[in-house]
Amino acid sequence: MEYADFLDESYEPSDDDLVCTFRLVPGEGISVADAAARVASESSNGTWAALSPESDVRQYSALACDIGPEDEHGTQVTVAYPSGLFEDGSLPQILSCIAGNIMGMKAVETIRLLDCEWPAVIARSFPGPQYGSDVRTELLDAGDRPPLATVPKPKVGLSTEEHVSVAESAWRGGVDLLKDDENLTDQTFNPFEQRVADSFAARDRLEEETGERKDYLVNITAETDEMVRRAEFVDDHGGSFVMVDIITCGWSGLQTVRRRTEDLDLAIHAHRAMHAAFDRLPQHGVSMRCLAQFARLAGVDHIHTGTAGLGKLENEDTAGINEWLRSDLHGHSDVLPVASGGLHPGIVDQLLDALGTNVMVQAGGGIHGHPDGTEAGARALRAAVDAYADGESLDSRAESVPALRTALDEWGTQNPR
C-alpha cells in the first residue's frame, strides 16, 4: 500500500461511501494529485511508508476520486470513504479520520474540509434532532414567526437577581426565550442552581401574565457528567431546553447530553462559540457547513449559523447552511437555525429577507441597549418580527409601536462592529 494506491479518478463513490470535499494547497514540491492521495491515505489506513499488510485491508481505504476545480484558496479534492472505516454513531471517530492528522500534515500547505455527503448507513447510526424546528409550536407559541430569544447583557457579571429582573422585562416585552450567554455557566456572582430556580419561578409568573409560553435556554456547558446533572436540574425545574457550547465542550460530551435529553424530552440549543478557530480562514480548517452537519447528526435542535453578513460577526454562507439544515437527511428532523450577533429591530427585515422566517432570532445588545430599557427593546424586536410576518414595513408598524420607532431612530439599519 503506497500513496498512489489511494488515488483513483475513475472511481464512482457507492451509495454507502461518505464523500468529503476538501480544498487544498499542496506542500512545496508536491503535486495536487500526490497531495490528494496523501489525504486519502492518512485519513484512512495509509502512512508515509509502503505497507504490506498480511490481510487485505484495502476495503477500509479511502480513495481520492476527483480533483478540481481550483480557486484562489486551492484545488478541490473529493475523497470517498468506505462506511466500514467508521464506528457507528461516533463523531469523534469519524472526525479523527476526515479532519484528523491531515489538517497538520506537511504534504499540504493548507487544507479545508468543505462539505460532506452522508450515506444513510452512517447518518442513521446517529440520533439526529429530537424536535428540530417543531419547537416553534411544540414547545413555544411562535407559530410561523421566528421565535425570539435574548441574552441578558452584560453577558457575565449580573447577579442572579439582576439576571432574573432583566429576564422578566424581556419576556414581558414579547420574547419567547431567555438565553444564557456562552460564557455564563456557574460563576460565583450568578450560580447555576440559583439562577435556574429563580428564572423558572419568574418564567411561570410571566406565562401567567402574558398568556404565552415562555422558556429558558439554560447553558449547561461543563465537563460531561456535570452537564448531565445540570440537564436533570433544568428538567426538575420545568425547563424544556438546554444550551450547550458544542465546540468548546466537544462532540462526545454533546452526544452524551443528547442521549440523556432524549429521556428528559429536552431540546438542545447549540451555541457555536470557538467555531471560527476552525472555519474563519477560508483556505484551512473545517467549514461551518460541516460543523453544522456534525451537530445535526449528534442531535441538536437549534444551532447558531450566522446572520447572512448582517450584524457583528463574520459569516460563511448562512443561507446555504440553513438550507442544508432543513434538507432531507435520511429521515432525520431538521434543525432550527439561529441568527445572532449584533442584531437589532432595524435590520430584521433584511435578515428575514435573506434567511426566511424559519429561523430563531436572538438579540442581546439590540434589546437591552434600547434607550428605554429591556422591556421596550423586547417590544421593539417583537414588533419588527410581527410586522415582517404580517407583510408590513418596519416604519409603518412603528407608527403604532413607539418602542419600535425609538429603536429605529437609535440604530437605523446599521451593522454594528
Residue among 76 and 307 whose Cβ is closer to ligand 3PG: 307
Nearer to ligand 3PG, 93 or 183 (CB): 183
- Label residues 117-132 b or e (16+ Cβ within 10 Å = b): ebbebbbbebbbbbbb
Assigned C-alpha cell, 52: 504490506
- Using left for φ > 0, alpha for ψ between -120 and 50, and beta otherwise, residue 214 falls in beta
What's the min distance (Å) between Cβ of 164 and ligand 3PG? 18
Q: Helix-strand-coil percent breakdown of the chain, rounded to 5?
A: 45, 20, 40
Q: In whole angstroms, how close is the CB of 312 to ligand 3PG at the nearest point?
A: 5
Q: Would you state the cell numbers that stand for residue 14, as one nine-digit string?
A: 457507492
Task: Specify whether the CB–CB gap between 338 and 304 falls below 8 A.
Answer: yes
Half-sphere exposure (Cβ direction) of 120: Cα atoms closer than 13 Å: 5
Q: How far apart are CA 401 and CA 376, in angstroms?
A: 10
* Cα dihedral 203→204→208→209 (10° resolution): -30
Rounded to whole angstroms, the Cα distance separating 79 from 67 reads 9
**CA pair distance 41, 177, nearest whole angstrom:** 47
Please tell me the distance from the alpha carbon of residue 44 to that of residue 79, in angstroms, as a whole number: 10
Is 340 annotated to bind a ligand? Reply is yes
370 is catalytic: no
Is there a binding annotation on residue 229? Answer: no
Please identify which of the residues 153, 214, 237, 275 carries the catalytic annotation: 153
Nearest partner of 162 among 192, 193, 209, 199, judged by Cα: 199
46 and 1 Cβ atoms separated by less than 8 Å: yes
Q: Can 284 be counted among the known catalytic residues?
A: no
Residue closer to ligand 3PG (CB basis): 111 or 184 = 184
Exactly one of 214, 271, 344, 370 is catalytic; which is it?
271
Q: Among all residues, whose Cβ is closest to ligand 3PG?
A: 364
Smallest distance from ligand 3PG to CB 150, Å: 8
Is 415 in contact with 308 (CB distance < 8 Å)? no
C-alpha cell at 21: 470535499
Give the residue with the Cβ less far from ligand 3PG, 32 or 308: 308
Nearest C-alpha neighbor of 112 from the set 74, 79, 86, 72: 74
Residue 342 annotated in ligand binding: yes
Q: Is 179 annotated as a binding residue?
A: yes
255 has binding-site annotation: no
**Residue 285 annotated in ligand binding:** no
Q: Give contact residues for ligand 3PG (rule: CB under 6 A).
A: 151, 153, 155, 181-182, 312, 340-343, 362-366
Residue 28 assigned to a binding site? no
Nearer Cβ to ligand 3PG, position 221 or 362? Answer: 362
Closest contact distance (angstroms) between CB of 190 and ligand 3PG is 15
CB of 254 to ligand 3PG, least distance (A): 17
Return the number of the residue (86 or 171) whose C-beta is nearest ligand 3PG.
171
CB of 364 to ligand 3PG, least distance (A): 3
Known binding positions = 155, 179, 181-182, 272, 304, 340-342, 362-365
Known binding positions for substrate = 155, 272, 304, 340-342, 362-365
Question: What residues act catalytically?
Answer: 153, 271
Known binding positions for Mg(2+) = 179, 181-182
